[in-house]
A and B are shown apart, each in its own frame.
Chain A
Amino acid sequence: MSTFLLVLITGVGLGALYFLVASGLSLIYGLMHVLNFAHGVFLSLGGLIGFELAARLGADQWWVFVLSILVGGVTGALIATATELVLIRPLYERHIEQVLVTVGLAFAAVALFEGIWGADPVYIVGPAWLKETTDVLGALVPNTYWVLMIAASALLTGLVLFLRYTRYGMIIRAGVENRSMVTALGIDVKKAFTLVFAIGGSAAGVGGVLAAHYTGYVSPHLGQTLLIFAFIVTVIGGLGSLTGAAVASVLVAVLQQLANYYLFGTGDLIVVVLLAAVLLVRPQGLLGRFA
C-alpha cells in the first residue's frame, strides 16, 4: 500500500513538472496556433542560468534556491519574449513557418548551449532538505516532489486568476475563443501574443530549475526530453485548454509512474498508447474543442 501511495504521489509530482511546460505550450497554441518547439530551450536555459547562479552563490542555501527559481523564471520570460518579437512576429499568420522557425531556434540553441556548458549532464546540489523524505502513511516521498507540486499549483491558481479577472486575461481568453472577433473589436491581440509567450517562457524557466533538482542534473538536452512529454500532454488534454493540460499532466504522469513500477518500466510506451487511444476515441483531446 505504501509503495502504491509513493508511486501515486511521485506521479502527481512529475505531472506538476509536465504542467509547468505544457501550460505555456497550450496557451501559446490556443491563442496563436503556434507549436512552439523552442519551449524546451526556454526550459533548458532557465535551468542552466539557475544552476550557474546557484553554483556562484552557494547552492545549499535556501535563499539561493528561491533566487535561482526566480532567475530561471525571468530568464525564460526574457528569451521567450525575444523569440516572439524577433522570430514569430515577422511571420504573423504563417503557422507552418512559425513552427519551422522555432524548430530552427531549438536546433541552434541546443548546439550553442552544448558549446558553452558541454554536452554532458552537470550534476547539481540544492538545499539538503530537498534530498530528504517526508513520511506520508508509510510512503517516503522525496521532498522535491512537494516543491514541484507547490510550484505547479501556484502557477495554475495564478493563471486561472489572471485569465479570469484581469483585462489581459480576458483578451487572451477571448482570443483563444475567437481571435478574428477580438481583432474586429479593435483590440490589439499582438500584445497578448507577447504576453502569452512571456508567461509560458517564465513557467518553463521555473520548470527548468525545478526539473534540474528533480533529475539531479542539468544539461542542454533537458528541455527537449521534457518537451516531447509536454506535447503529448497538450494533445491528450486538448490543445488550448489549460484545465485539460492540468488534468492530462497528472493523468499521464501517474500512469507513466505506475507502468514504470508495476509493468516493467514500460511507462513511456504506455503514454504513447494512451495518446493513440485518446486520438482514436476523441481526436480533439479530453477537454478540447475542434478549432
Chain B
Amino acid sequence: MSAQTETTSTPTPVAGKGKPFWRQWLPLGVGVALVVLMAVLPLLNISIPGVLPTPTYQPGALAVISLAMVFAALALSYNMLLGTAGMLSFGHALYFGVGAYGLGIILANSGLPLVPAVLLALVGGLVIALVTGSVANRVGGIPFAMVTLAFAQAGSVLVRRNSGVTGGEEGLSLTTENVPDFLVGVINTRNLYWVTLAVLVVIYLVALWVDRSRLGHLAQASRENELRVNVLGLHPYRAKLTIFIIAALSASLAGITYMLLQSGTVPRAVSADLTITVLVMVVLGGVGFRWGAILGGVLYTLLDQRLTVLAGSEAIAGLPEVLRIPLSEPLFILGVLFILVVMFLPGGIAGTAEAWWQRRFGGRKETGLAALDADSDESSEPAETRQ
C-alpha cells in the first residue's frame, strides 16, 4: 500500500502544536457554531426545497433532521470501531437494536419511569456487548467480521421468534404511559429534536475522547501493528474490547433515541442490513473522520428519503423499463454510489476534503480507508519494511 504507516511512533498529532492561533481554534469554533445553529433551528423558518419536506420550524422537517442525527450518532459509534480501532464489525446493529428494543420492552413490562428505563436498557447493552465482544475479539480481521455478523443474526432471530415480547415482524411500539408528556406526540417533535441533538453531541464528545485518549492511541497502534504492541508489553485485546464496548453503548444510546423518536421499532433495527447501511454511511463520509461519519449519516438519510420520493415520481414512471427499475430502487442507487466511492474515492468525502485542505495549507497526516489495509497478510512484519 502506498499509504505509509508512520503512526506507531507518532500517534495523532497533538492538537495545535506549532499551528497558528486561528487554525488551532477553528474546528472548535465551527463545531460550537454548528451546534448552536442546530439548536435554534426549530425556532427559525428556513425552507430548503428538495431536501426538507417542510420549513424547519414544522414537525415534518424536524423529524427528518432528527432521524438523520440518530443515524449520524450511530455512524459515529461505528467509526470508533472501524476508524479508530480498525475493527470491521458486521454486527453493530445488534447494540442499536438492544437499545431500541430494550427500552421498548422495559417500558411495556415494568412501571419504571423513563430515565431508569433508559439506564436499564444501557446496562442491557453493556452486558450483551461484554459477552459478545469478549468472544468476538478472540479473532481479528475478517473472522471478526463473520463472528459479529453471526451474533447479530442470533439477535435478529431472537427478535423475530419471540413475538410475544418483541412484536415479531410487526415491530414493537413505544408504551408512552411512563414517558414524560413533553416527549410524546407529533406536536413535541421539537423537544425530541433537541434530545436527539444532545445525544449526538454526547456521542461526538465520547468519540473525541476515545480518539485523544491513551486507549484510543493504543487501539490505533494495534490497528497498525498488533504484534509490535504485544511486544511492547501492552494489551491490544483489552483496548479493543473497551472500544468495542464504548462503541456498542453509544449505539445503544442511539437506539434508545431512535425508539423515542419513531415511537416504535421494527426487526430491521437488529438486522445485518442496518449494519451494512451504517457501514455505507461511514465509508461515504470518510473512515476515520468524526465529522465524516456525521456527514455520511446525515447525507445517507436525506438521500434515502429523497430517492424514495423520486422513485414514486411521475418522471421515473414514464421512463422505459431498463431505466425505471434501477432508478425506482433507492438502495440500488446507494449501493452503486457506495461501490464507486470505495473504488475511486477511498477517503470518502471527509478524506478527500482533508487531502485537499492538506495540499492547500499543509498539516495533517493521511488517514481514511487506505490506512486500514495495514491489516493484511503483511501485518506480521515491522511497519518500516512495508511499502
Residues of A within 8 A of B (CB): 29, 33, 35, 87, 90-91, 93-97, 99-101, 103-112, 114-116, 179, 224, 228, 231-232, 234-235, 239, 265, 268-269, 271-272, 275-276, 279-280, 283, 291
Contact = CB atoms under 8 A, between A and B. Distances in A.
A107 B147 CA distance: 20
B342 A101 contact: yes
B328 A115 contact: yes
3 closest A-B pairs by beta carbon, nearest first, are A108-B335, A107-B335, A111-B331
Contacts of A239: 142-143
A111 B339 CA distance: 14
A232 B157 CA distance: 15
Interface string B374-387: 01110000000000
Contact of A107 (B1, B326, B331): B331
B88 A268 contact: no
A231 B372 CA distance: 22
A33 B343 contact: no
Contacts of B373: 93-97
Given A97-B369, A111-B329, A103 B147 contact: no
A268 B332 contact: no
User: Could you tell me the dominant secondary structure of chain A's interface residues?
Assistant: helix
A96 B158 contact: no
Interface of B: 1, 88, 135-136, 138-139, 141-143, 145-147, 149-151, 153-154, 157-158, 161, 272, 276, 279-280, 283, 325-326, 328-332, 334-336, 338-339, 342-343, 346, 369-370, 372-373, 375-377
A108 B339 contact: yes
Contact of B343 (A91, A93, A112, A279): A91
Contacts of A35: 142, 145-146
A268 B146 contact: no
A212 to B, nearest CB: 21
22 contacts: A87-B343, A99-B142, A100-B369, A101-B339, A103-B279, A104-B336, A105-B339, A107-B338, A108-B331, A108-B335, A109-B335, A116-B325, A228-B153, A231-B149, A234-B146, A239-B142, A239-B143, A269-B157, A272-B154, A275-B150, A279-B139, A283-B143
Given A97-B369, A114-B329, A276-B135, 5 more contacts: A94-B1, A110-B331, A115-B329, A234-B146, A239-B142
Contact of B325 (A33, A103, A115, A235): A115
A275 B138 CA distance: 12
A100 B376 contact: no
B88 A99 contact: yes
Contacts of B332: 108, 111-112, 115
A33 B377 contact: yes
A291 B377 contact: yes
A269 B156 CA distance: 10
Contact of B138 (A95, A179, A280): A280
A291 B377 CA distance: 8
B244 to A, nearest CB: 15
Nearest to B338: A104
B276 A96 contact: no
Contacts of A104: 280, 335-336, 338-339, 342
Contacts of B328: 115
Nearest to B142: A35
B326 A115 contact: yes
B26 to A, nearest CB: 31
Nearest to B136: A279
A271 B151 CA distance: 10
B336 A108 contact: yes
Contacts of A115: 325-326, 328-329, 332
A268 B154 contact: yes
B142 A97 contact: no
Nearest to B371: A96
B342 A100 contact: yes
B146 A232 contact: yes
Nearest to A267: B157
Contacts of B146: 35, 231-232, 234-235
